[in-house]
Amino acid sequence: MNTKLKFGVGAGIILATLVALGWVGAKESKTYYHTISELSTLNQAELRQHMRVSGNVAPGTIQHLPGQIDFVLVEENNRLPVSYTGTDPLPDTFKDDAQALVEGKLGPDGRFIANQVQAKCASKYEVAPTPSGK
Amino acid sequence: MDLFGSFALLLAFICAIYAIAGGILAIRTRNPFLIKSARNAGIAVCALIFLAVASLVYLFLSDNFSIAYVVQHSSRLQPSFLKIAALWSGQEGSLLFWSLLLSIYVFSVLWSYRDKHPELMPYVGVILASVQLFFLILNNFIANPFKLIGTVGPGGVLSWITQPDGRGLTPLLQYPEMIIHPPMLYSGYTGFTIPFAFALAALIGRYPGEKWIHLTRRWTMIAWCFQSVGILLGAHWAYAVLGWGGYWSWDPVENASLMPWLTGTAFLHSVMMQEKRGMMKVWNVWLVFITFLLCIFGTFLTRSGVISSVHAFAQSDIGPWFVGFLIVILSVCTLAFLKNRDYLKSDNSLDSMISRESSFLFNNLILLVACVAVLSGTVFPVLSEWATGQKISVGAPFFNRINIPIGLMLLFLTGVGPLLAWRRTSADSLKRNFGMPMAGGLIAGAIAWPLGCKDLFSLACVILSVFVTLTIVLEFYRGAKVIRARAGGNLLSSAVQLTLRNTRRYGGYVVHFGIVLVFIGISGQAFNQDKQMEMSPGSSMQIGRYTLFCQLFENVPGPNYTSERVSIDVERDGKQVMMLYPEKRIYGDSDEAGTMVAISSTPREDLYVVYAGRSPQSDKPVIHAYLNPLVKWVWFGGVVVVLGTILALIPNRAAAIIMQAAKQPAPATAEQAIPAGVHYDGSD
């Protein structure tokens, strides 16, 4: 019993440490999913969250500017202007009409500032959207 | 030919039902004819699936564009080996491919044990056929690869059509790794079905003892090896193809492949406790059940689109089927366990904290914690949505904070475990075995720190890696010394002899060494650098000890693409080393782009160069260069792991009996002359 108790204590310490580390890691990287239509319903605290929004790239809206790439994300009838400010190149699948997932924060002017953009092929049955901004 | 294939699938489905029903009847009645007939049905299932796959491959190679699946993944100009690989590039075909690999394993089991273990094999056959039945249901009725393309004409008449050409494989899949990664990974996933089937069969059939472990050990090791290779190939593909400079991003699909690997590794170790000391019987049975469940869960995650990920198959309705299958498996396992668990009582219990049992227990504990952590992090969005209505995801910091300490603990145990004795280790033995390796590790750390290794985790990794390597070397050395003393020869040939007499143990040490190399490679990430700037012909960029000179920027035509390519002259420490050609390809009709990364790889570091497109203002090429230390060690470590596994699979060479006139009073038994921990016949 003594040995089992010792093992239990050792296991407990390891578990407690790892759970604590996990807690910290989760807080550091928590990202909320929101749809574009939800964004207008968020309160002040929620607007400051690190979030992910998905939608389709509106055709013709992709603009390459110094230090950022602007485009508009649409979801049904909702439009969201996005600025991607990450350093990594955008994925090869990122183009008009592509399904895209942007991660970042909503800026004060309603423009979404993304530090990461993932894009999927517009076609079905397909593989490998690629991430960037990691 | 499509009729032939779909008919073969249907027949396989029917045979699987017979294999199950007949098999259950055979178990009940113990009728030898029924037993044999059910087993033959099981073999027939495998043969029929093989025929279905062969016909699908034929359809691809013969450019049959009346089949929807062929049109989606192939085209006339596609090279033949890519036409074959297209087999597993979509939902329907990859499910069939899964069935094929599973059938190879099932056939090998049914054939190897065809006239043996009659108390166990009928149960095994029923279980294996049931798993195959699930995938056959999917391929026959939900996701049939032989579907024809049709249109509805005037008057609502359906007619079949044949396309002139197919859409072709998406460019992102036209790489060597994508050709080999799915086969390797699927061979891992499907392979774990075998130990699962035997464990469940032994439980249901109240088959006593550890025999099921012995019978399946080879298959478990093979499946584990394929899984390891599959994971590393996936990482290599992400690194060499995707162009973001890294090889692991804790993406849900990556995690899906890692989880069964974690529990599979735990299983490979804890079965040793059952074999040697009759402990952990309940634990082992559940560990292999969970490993198999995680394999099915893994493919469910990848295919169902329930968690958004980089590798997305289409959002499909195949998810609920997998959920149902997972529930069925879990129910059967739980019922069998509840009914028969009394025969799984342990023979022994833990004697001391400083024992090999204890190190295995800790090994299992932290591998399971890692698995739970990865699982929670992966399904966090689903869980949080259930719990709070909000979909929340966690990222790399969560996974890294938990798994890096776990990795270091595992590394420590890898060195410690083999040196601890079963039951109890004395303080003297500890000092004797650990002193030198630990000292070596600390010295290595003391050297690494001033050399620039100032990241705490990387430093710990260096110390522990050297520690583990020295313990492994010591193991080989001690055993080889004994053999040399008795049989002559030099240390090297003695070490070879030693290994061949207990391939499982010493092959395992080689695998451990491979893992150490992988860990060293991973620890290099703490020192990654990167730099991005515009370059034009004549300009240069400095990163680390490399200088990159941009020579040319041009459009280069290819067979089915045009590419924007930058020619870069690379100098290292002032000396010209090589040319690199990062480019971006635009594939003709589909207008899809593909970034080709250029990598210069040495054991010390990788120079990784990406052409990031034209700068919007100046139209000049933007080059993003990464300096990633030690990446090559990860791939090389993987090779060593595979070699170690192959070594461990070789059957033991029996110990030679040496007839020699006694020069001194001979020891009473061979055992006495050998230091504790090394047995002459190689057993532990």
Residues in chain A within 8 Å Cβ distance of B249: 131, 134
Q: Say whether pLDDT at B682 is over 50.
A: no
**Which pLDDT value is given to residue A40?**
82
- E strand map for B75-169: 150-152, 158-160
The 10s digit of each residue's pLDDT in B606-622 is 999 999 888 877 888 88
pLDDT the model gives residue A44 = 82
Domain assignment present for residue B538? The answer is yes
Position A92 scores a pLDDT of 77
Is B620 in the A-facing interface, judged by CB distances under 8 Å?
no
Question: Which of B632, B658, B675 is the endpoint of a domain?
Answer: B632
> For residue B128, is pLDDT > 50?
yes
Backbone angles phi, psi at B541, to 5 degrees: -135, 140
Contacts of B91 in chain A (CB under 8 A): 125
Nearest-CB residue to B308 (from A3, A10, A101):
A101
* Structure tokens given for B415: 């060195």
A134 touches chain B (CB under 8 A): yes
Q: What is the pLDDT of residue B140?
A: 94
Q: Which amino acid is at B483?
A: I
pLDDT at B112: 93
- Which residues does chain B have within 8 Å of residue A54's beta carbon, measured at their own beta carbons? 308
Of the two residues B632 and B75, the one the predictor is more confident about is B632
Give the residue from chain A lying closest to B382, CA to CA: A33
Identify which of B365, B380, B400 has the shortest CB distance to residue A11: B365
pLDDT at residue B678, as a whole number = 43
Pick from B170, B249, B390: CB nearest A131: B249
| Contact check, Cβ <8 Å, A15/B243 | no
Q: Which residue of A has its CA nearest to B247?
A: A134
pLDDT, tens digit, 9 for 90 and up, residues B385-417: 888 888 888 989 999 999 999 999 999 999 988
Contacts of A17 in chain B (CB under 8 A): 405
Chain B contact for A67 (CB, 8 A cutoff): no
Q: Which of B245, B369, B395 sits opposite A15 (nearest CB)?
A: B369
Shortest Cα distance, chain A CAs vs residue B216, angstroms:
30
What is the CB-side half-sphere exposure of residue B429 using CA atoms within 13 A?
15
Task: Write down the pLDDT at residue B312.
Answer: 55
Give the residues across from A114 on adjacent strands: A84, A104
Which H or E run includes B610?
strand B605-614
Residue B401 at interface with chain A, using a CB cutoff of 8 Å? yes
Max avg pLDDT among A44-48, B639-643, B658-662 = B639-643
Give domain limits for chain A: 1-30, 32-134
Percent of chain B clearing pLDDT 90 (strictly above): 56
The DSSP-derived string for A65-88 is: ETTEEEEEEEETTEEEEEEE--SS
**What's residue B681's pLDDT?**
40
Inform me whether the C-beta atom of residue A8 falls under 8 Å from chain B C-beta atoms: no
What does the block give as tokens for B178?
Answer: 């994508």
DSSP B635-673: HHHHHHHHHHHHHHHSPPPPPPPPP---SSPPPSSGGGG
Integer Rg of chain B from CA: 28
A127 touches chain B (CB under 8 A): yes
B619: closest chain A residue by CA: A64
Q: Which residues of A touch B617 (CB under 8 A)?
A: 66
Q: Which of A3, A24, A93 sits opposite B401 (nearest CB)?
A: A24
Q: How confident is the model at residue B122 (pLDDT cuts 50, 70, 90)?
A: very high
Residue B601, domain extent: 526-632
Nearest Cα residue in chain B from A15: B369
B103 backbone dihedrals φ, ψ, rounded to 5°: -65, -35
Question: Which residue, among B511, B547, B512, B549, has the nearest Cα to B644 in the 3D structure?
Answer: B511
With beta carbons less than 8 A apart as the criterion, state whether B628 and B524 touch: yes
Domain boundary at B596, B614, B632, which?
B632
pLDDT at B349 over 90: no
Taking CB atoms and an 8 Å limit, are B350 and A4 in contact across chains? yes
Q: Is A79:A58 a contact under the CB 8 Å cutoff?
A: yes
For B585, the 3-state DSSP assignment is strand
Residue in B313, B396, B402 nearest the CB of A127: B313
Residues of chain A with C-beta less than 8 angstroms from the C-beta of B564: none
Encode pLDDT of B233-273 as tens digits: 999 988 988 778 889 999 999 999 999 999 999 999 998 88
Mean pLDDT check: name the lowest of B151-155, B321-325, B494-498: B151-155
Q: What is residue B146's DSSP assignment?
A: T
From chain B, pick out residues whose CB is under 8 angstroms from the CB of A9. Answer: none
Strand bridging mode B592-596 / B540-543: unpaired
A132 interfaces chain B, CB cutoff of 8 Å: yes
User: Which burial class, exposed, middle or buried, applies to B374 when counting CB atoms under 10 A from its CB (0-12, 13-18, 19+)?
Assistant: buried
- Residues B481, B675: Cα–Cα separation, whole Å: 11
Q: Which residue of B has its CA nearest to A123?
A: B314
Report the residue of A3, A17, A64 to disrupt the B interface, i.e. the one with the largest count of B CBs within 10 Å. A3
Nearest residue of chain A to residue B610 (CA atoms): A89
B677 has a pLDDT exceeding 60: no
What pLDDT score was predicted for residue B435?
A: 87
Instruction: Give the highest mean pLDDT range of B97-101, B244-248, B474-478.
Output: B97-101
Q: Of B170 and B470, which is predicted with more confidence?
A: B470
Whether B296 contacts B322, CB under 8 Å: yes
For chain A, report the end-to-end CA distance as a whole number of angstroms: 49
Q: Does B638 touch chain A (CB under 8 A)?
A: no
* Res B644 pLDDT > 80: yes
Nearest C-alpha neighbor of B253 from the set B344, B189, B329, B323: B189
Of A14, A22, A131, the CB nearest to B366: A14
In a domain? residue B588:
yes
Which regions of B37-152 does DSSP assign to beta strands (E)? 150-152
Confidence of residue B426 (pLDDT cuts 50, 70, 90): confident
Q: How confident is the model at residue B676 (pLDDT cuts 50, 70, 90)?
A: very low
| DSSP assignment letter at B421 | P
Q: Does A87 touch chain B (CB under 8 A)?
A: yes
Residues B548, B549, B550, CA angle at the centre, nearest 5°? 120
On chain A, the residues whose CB falls within 8 A of the CB of B310 are: 118, 128-131
The helix (H) or strand (E) run that includes residue A46 is helix A44-47
Q: Report the distance separating Cα B350 and Cα A3, nearest Å.
A: 7
Put simply, whether A18 touches B (Cβ < 8 Å) is: yes
Domain count, chain B: 2
Supply the pLDDT for residue B503.
92
Phi and psi, residue B570, nearest 5°: -105, 130
Mutate to test the interface with B, among A2, A6, A18, A85 (most CBs of B within 10 A): A18
Q: Higher model confidence: residue A60 or residue B321? A: B321
Distance CA B418, CA B355 (A): 10
Model pLDDT for residues A11-49, shown as the tens digit of each residue: 899 999 999 999 999 888 888 888 888 888 888 888 888
> Closest to B353 (Cβ–Cβ): which among A3, A17, A33?
A3
CB contact under 8 A, B170 and A121: yes
Instruction: Please identify among residues 294-313 of chain B the ones whose CB lies closer than 8 Å to any CB of chain A.
Output: 308, 310-313
- ipTM of model over 0.90: no
Percent of chain B at pLDDT > 70 equals 94
Q: What is the mean pLDDT of residues B5-26?
A: 95
User: Smallest Cβ distance to B405: which of A18, A95, A125?
Assistant: A18
Distance from the Cα of B514 to chain A's closest Cα (Å) equals 26
Per-residue pLDDT, B669: 47
pLDDT of residue B182: 92
The band of B589, judged by pLDDT with boundaries at 50, 70 and 90, is low
What integer pLDDT is reported at residue B310 of this predicted model?
Answer: 60
* Closest partner CB to A30 (pick from B352, B392, B532): B392
Nearest chain B Cα distance for residue A85, angstroms: 14
Q: Residue B155: what pLDDT? A: 81
Burial class of residue B666, CB neighbours in 10 A (0-12, 13-18, 19+): exposed
Distance, in Å, from the CA atom of B680 to the CA atom of B671, rounded to the nearest integer, reads: 7
> Residue B138 pLDDT > 60, yes or no?
yes
Q: What is the pLDDT of residue B661?
A: 57
| A-chain residue closest to B364, CA distance | A11
Class in CATH terms, A32-134:
mainly beta
What integer pLDDT is reported at residue B314 of this predicted model? 53
Residues 555-594 of B with CB under 8 A from A: 584, 591-594
Q: What is the distance between the alpha carbons of residues B670 and A97, in angstroms, rounded to a whole number?
A: 76
Question: CB distance from A86 to chain B under 8 Å?
Answer: no
Extract the runs of DSSP E, i.e. beta strands, from A1-134: 31-34, 51-57, 63-65, 68-75, 78-84, 99-106, 112-120
- A positions 88-117 inside 8 Å of B (CB): 88-89, 92-93, 95, 101
- What is the arithmetic mean of pLDDT over B359-386? 92
Q: How far is B277 from B348, CA to CA, in rounded Å?
A: 6
Coarse DSSP helix, strand, coil percentages of chain B, rounded to the nearest 5 percent: 65, 10, 25
Give the confidence band of A126 by pLDDT, cuts at 50, 70, 90: very low
Check CB contact under 8 Å for B613 and A3. no
Evaluate if residue A89 carries a pLDDT over 90: no
Residue A83 contacts B, CB cutoff 8 Å: no
Best to test chain B binding among A7, A84, A92 (most B CBs inside 10 Å)? A92
Max distance between CA atoms of chain B, in angstroms, equals: 103
CB distance B172–A125 less than 8 Å? no
